[in-house]
Chains A and B, each alone.
Chain A
């Protein structure tokens, strides 16, 4: 994940923590009911959904942009015994093992 995406996520996290706690939450604790739904619920679900949508945008965008992946640990990996070619070890790692 790109550095930028990570920063967005951290900012989102802080924003989300603030948004669902006192005192912000208290602002929405009112007897008003937009679309017939009590404001408190309306706000919480809407904030939640918005958060998810932004997360999708951030995470998936960073995927599209072909972000860097950290190098796989080049570890002396005991192979899976019972399952040869197990997906536990991604192909990259296996080939690197074979090369060693």
Chain B
């Protein structure tokens, strides 16, 4: 049963139709918010986009000549998968936070949102990836040409003899262009995610795995009798026996190691890998499952590589069939059309998924990081005149896809044909590995800066081009082969495969060594001196500390400018279309309770990030800075943001300290407030007591005055009695007012103290003299016991007399008439002088001993009737005595009389005396 062209094409197109259906369904579900790719299994399967036609056909081809070598290409990613949690998770987090859309965007963002760097990455990728695209086209074209000859199996050259329009590959390229455009550029998304494509890629990964394993099983168990027999046959064949040992690996262990390293790096940094690993990652936690699931996939798809390779070599022992095609030609040779068709579709899967993802990713990069920045810089006015740029963006991307696939085709037609699949693929791997230093070092070393990245990347790229790309051109006849064999201009030292005389390595290891050396060296050399820009520092610190930080809007601090919100909206609307722009602003308003007329830095940053999703970080920055006025940020401000390693810790530590201080302060405040309230209450009490005290004498003065006024002919005796009462009450009033003033003065510390040397005995004598009238009036006996010693103290004479008088008059006041007896004593006590005033009055209850020294407190005394004092005497006395460094207290019990005791310090020999 021959397979006609029609059947093959129908199957291929049907298969593509299924893919398209899956992609469409995936996009629909994504739009509805029920993503079908949001699980770790789909994520892992989509990573298997790593296995391209190179894997599907090329692994076998490689195994058929280099034995175990092909395994390095899959052990590398296995090793890298183990590092996912440490490397990939950081990158994913950064990408989500900064809305990064591609690997060029990532590198550009890391190094200060550098448009130059992003553009350079894009150029390197474009050039580096062409061989890779070309081998996919070649694989499709070759497998198609082979299959249409079924059941014939023959080696055929895909001819360059035909003109282009007769070339199958050309039509394959055209079909792929159409599909890629349909898949990848339906609309401009602000995240550059393509859920539908991811779903399709996952399906393709599953399909190619099944197809390959099926072919492997058939070859191993049906065509041959199991692996044992197969290996045994191979071991007997002198041509094949070396394939089972390590000796056939080109470059030996060094080559093996470098291939492992290359594939590790390429797995992470090929643009499409970056896309599926990072940009399309739905949830960080999916990475965890991929750590083992993806190696398992690689294990499964590689299990039958060697059996197929050996089987092919055994069956086609005459070398008539290209080893790269064994997967397809073995079923054909065994007359298994269905299996052959399955193998063909499997290869188609592997190739198409790679081409689509790679070109969509690349076209986004070309658009965001190459074309838009140039347009923005070259002719901003022309752009400003256009209201909706989303159409333009899509147009650029579609053009990018067309150009890339056509370039891949041209590379295939004019350069790549002479190469095996793997050789071309490795050239691309080595190009992708150039991104490893700026990304990996940039992830962990903050000081890596733009200058270093530019130097390193350009040098690494130059070395790559010189040691791999140019020789490939030479081999296909575009440059004289003497360039490779003898060096340029016959300079042996500069031979591209043996730079500076470094011989004995295989070309890839040689290239990896030199390019990594200059790449890393350049990065470090360029980064060491000098101080990075503020924005470089901000980005560097944000990238490195991504897992530590809670806040990720540090770079929003860089926007200090002024801009109208309406301008921001217009800008966004031009790139996303008005509908999405207004949706975005509505959402912002909903989250932040409206937006200000003058955009604040948060809103500017929000807009920048949205824009970054559509046109890349560097372009977004250019656009925003074109409308934001006065954006410059001082280095001090940046340094505050940047005090990196300690910043977060320091911040929280300071915060805790602040809150502790705050708590403390508020406790103090509360206390002070309580005290104030208490004082306020006391003041109110004081005022009410004072006024009350003032009113009592006033009332009697007024009453007696009115009586006198109303009775002009009152008896003289009566009148003089009344007048004397008035005089006495007036005196009391004066005394009261004086005391209140004294009290106030003492309290506020405004009193003037006249400290002199005093003879305490004389002072007491004076006090006695001035109160003698009182004693006399009340017929109270006063006994003095002052001793003979001359007692010298330092103090204010008037004040101290006031104290003694106060005590004496109190004593008199409370003594019973006639029997009253007061004793005043002056005694030395331990380095003090002690004055005692003893009366035989009613005594004072113990609970009153303290209270009587409070203002206006008067011992309510049923015997004494109305209080006789002002209630200020004792408090004033206490203040005075305390001011002299002494103390005053009372010892008494009810019915036992009272002893008021004043202790004053002795005068010091050195003149230091009273406090103060």
Show the binding face of A for B, using Cβ within 8 Å: 1, 6, 9-10, 12-13, 16-17, 20-22, 25-26, 29, 31, 33, 35-38, 40-41, 44-45, 48-49, 51-52, 55-56, 59-60, 63, 69-71, 73-76, 78-88, 90, 97-98, 100
B307 to chain A, nearest CB (A): 10
Taking A49-B299, A70-B547, A74-B551 as contacts, is the C-beta distance between A55 and B291 under 8 angstroms? yes
Question: Do B591 and A41 have beta carbons less than 8 Å apart?
Answer: no
18 A-B residue pairs with Cβ-Cβ distance under 8 Å, sorted by A, are A25-B253, A29-B245, A38-B245, A44-B75, A45-B299, A48-B78, A59-B292, A60-B292, A69-B285, A74-B551, A75-B551, A75-B553, A78-B190, A78-B610, A79-B584, A87-B282, A88-B282, A98-B591
Identify B253's interface contact among A21, A36, A44, CB under 8 A: A21
The distance in angstroms between the C-alpha atoms of A63 and B288, with both chains bound, is 9
* B306 contacts chain A at the CB level, 8 A cutoff: yes
Say yes or no: A82 contacts B189, CB within 8 Å: yes
- CB pair B99–A78 under 8 Å, yes or no, is yes
The answer, yes or no, to whether B420 is at the interface (CB within 8 Å) is no
Cβ of B15 under 8 Å from chain A: no
Are B580 and A81 in contact (CB-based, < 8 A)? Answer: yes
Minimum distance in angstroms from B163 CB to a CB of chain A:
44
Complex interface: stretch among B81-89, B145-153, B475-483, B525-533: B81-89
Task: For A86, give the chain B residue with the smallest CB separation.
Answer: B33
Give the CA-CA distance A26 to B283 in the complex, in Å: 41
For residue B68, CB closer than 8 A to chain A, the reply is: yes
Q: Does B605 contact A (CB under 8 A)?
A: yes
Q: Enumerate chain B interface residues (CB-CB to A < 8 A).
A: 30-31, 33-35, 38, 68, 71, 75, 78-79, 82-83, 85-86, 93, 96-97, 99, 187, 189-191, 193, 227-229, 231-232, 235, 244-247, 253, 256-257, 260, 282-283, 285, 288-289, 291-292, 295-296, 299, 303, 306, 546-547, 549-553, 556, 576, 580, 583-584, 587-588, 591-592, 602, 605-606, 609-610, 613
Q: Are B31 and A40 in contact (CB under 8 A)?
A: no
Decide: B85 and A1 in contact? CB cutoff 8 A.
yes
**A83→B31 contact, CB < 8 A:** yes
Alpha-carbon distance between A60 and B291 when the two chains are bound, in angstroms: 10
List of B residues within 8 angstroms of A38 by Cβ: 231, 235, 244-245
A56 and B232 CA atoms in complex are apart in Å by 34
B295→A52 contact, CB < 8 A: yes
B82 touches A81 (CB 8 A): no
Inter-chain pairs besides A26-B253, A56-B292, 14 sampled, C-beta below 8 Å: A1-B85, A13-B79, A37-B227, A40-B244, A41-B306, A59-B292, A70-B547, A73-B550, A78-B588, A78-B609, A80-B191, A81-B190, A81-B584, A82-B580
Residue contact A83 to B33, C-beta cutoff 8 Å: yes
- Binding site secondary structure of chain B: helix
Measured in the bound complex, the distance between the Cα atoms of B99 and A60 in whole Å is 30
**Do residues B292 and A13 form an inter-chain contact, with CB atoms below 8 A?**
no
Given that A73-B93, A73-B549 are known contacts, is A82 also in contact with B31, CB under 8 Å in the complex? yes
- CB <8 Å contact, A16 and B244: no
Expressed in whole angstroms, the Cα–Cα distance for A75 and B643 within the complex equals 20
Contact between chains at B68 and A44 (CB < 8 Å)? yes
Determine how close the nearest CB of chain B comes to the CB of A59; give it in whole angstroms. Answer: 5
A35 to B247, CA, bound (A): 22
- Complex Cα spacing A83 to B235, Å: 59
Select from chain A the residue with minimum beta-carbon distance to B282. A87
CB distance from B645 to the nearest CB of A (A): 18
Closest chain A residue to B608 by CB distance? A78
CB-nearest residue of chain A to B243: A38
B residues in contact with A70, CB < 8 Å: 547
CA distance A69 to B85 in the complex (A): 12
Min CB distance B35 to A, Å, is 4
Known: A1-B85, A45-B303, A100-B591. A76 touches B292 (CB 8 A): no
Q: Which 5 A-B pairs have the closest CB atoms?
A: A36-B228, A22-B253, A85-B33, A55-B292, A87-B35
Residue of B33, B247, B253, B546 touching A84 (CB-CB under 8 A): B33
Q: Which B residues are CB-close (under 8 A) to A52?
A: 78, 292, 295-296, 299
Q: How many whole Å from A92's CB to the nearest CB in chain B? A: 11
Quick check: A55 and B82 within 8 Å, CB to CB?
yes
Residues of B within 8 A of A17 (CB): 79
Interface contact A6-B86, CB-CB below 8 Å: yes
Residues of A within 8 A of B227 (CB): 36-37
Query: Are B190 and A51 within 8 A (Cβ)?
Result: no
Given contacts A45-B303, A100-B592, contact A78 B33 (CB under 8 A): no
Closest to B37 in A: A87
Report if A6-B85 is in contact (Cβ < 8 Å); known contacts: A37-B231, A70-B547, A76-B602.
Answer: yes
Task: Give complex CA distance A83, B28 in Å.
Answer: 10
- Once A52-B296, A75-B552, A79-B587 are accepted as A-B contacts, the answer to whether A40 and B246 lie under 8 Å apart by CB is yes
User: CA separation between A79 and B228, bound complex, in Å?
Assistant: 58
Q: Distance (Å) between the CB of B381 and the closest chain A CB? A: 27
CB distance from B509 to the nearest CB of A (A): 13
Interface pair B190/A82, CB less than 8 Å apart: yes
**Chain B residues, CB < 8 A from A51:** 78, 295
Closest A-chain residue to B553, C-beta based? A76
Residues of A within 8 Å of B34, CB to CB, are: 87
| Contact A41–B244 (Cβ < 8 Å) | yes
On chain A, the residues within 8 Å of B256 by CB distance are 21-22, 25
Asked, given contacts A9-B82, A12-B82, A37-B228, whether A82 binds B282 with beta carbons under 8 Å apart, the answer is no
Residues of A within 8 A of B78 (CB): 16, 48, 51-52
B583 to chain A: which residues have CB within 8 Å? 81
Tell me the smallest distance from the CB of A81 to a CB of chain B, in Å.
Answer: 4
A7 to B68: give the CA distance in the assembly, Å: 30
Query: Which B residues are CB-close (under 8 A) to A60?
Result: 292
| A contact residues around B245 at 8 Å (CB) | 29, 31, 38, 40
A56 CB to closest chain B CB (Å) equals 5
On chain B, the residues within 8 Å of A13 by CB distance are: 79, 82-83
Q: Contact between B38 and A76 (Cβ–Cβ < 8 Å)?
A: no
In the complex, which of the residues A48, A70, A97 has the most CB atoms of chain B within 10 Å of its own CB atom? A48
Question: CB-nearest residue of chain A relative to B82?
Answer: A13
Residues from chain A with a CB closer than 8 A to the CB of B231 are: 33, 36-38
Distance in Å from the Cβ of B253 to the closest Cβ of chain A? 4
- What distance in Å separates the Cβ of B179 from its nearest Cβ neighbour in chain A? 22
Q: Which of B291, B546, B588 contacts A59 (CB 8 A)?
A: B291
Judge whether B291 and A16 touch: CB under 8 Å: no
The answer to whether A48 touches B295, judged by C-beta atoms less than 8 angstroms apart, is yes
Contacts of A1 in B (CB 8 A): 85, 288
Collect the chain A residues with CB atoms within 8 Å of residue B605's CB.
Answer: 76
* Docked CA distance A69–B34 (Å): 24
Known: A36-B227, A49-B299. A80 touches B253 (CB 8 A): no
Contacts of B299 in A (CB 8 A): 45, 48-49, 52
Q: Which residues of A contact B71 (CB under 8 A)?
A: 44
CA–CA, A37 to B288, complex, Å? 33
Q: Which residue of B lies closest to A44 (CB)?
A: B71
Q: How far is the CB of A85 from chain B (nearest CB, A)?
A: 4
Q: Which residue of A lies closest to B94 (CB)?
A: A73
Instruction: Report the separation of the CA atoms of residues A22 and B79 in the bound assembly, to the nearest whole angstrom.
Output: 16
Question: Which of B232, B244, B550 contacts A74 (CB under 8 A)?
Answer: B550
Partner of A41, one of B30, B68, B580: B68
Nearest CB of B to A91, in Å? 11
CA distance A56 to B44 in the complex (A): 14
Are B191 and A88 in touch, CB under 8 angstroms?
Answer: yes
Alpha-carbon distance A70/B68, docked complex (angstroms)? 41
Q: How far is the CB of B240 from chain A (nearest CB, A)?
A: 11
| A23 → B minimal CB distance (Å) | 8
- B191 A75 Cβ-Cβ under 8 A: no
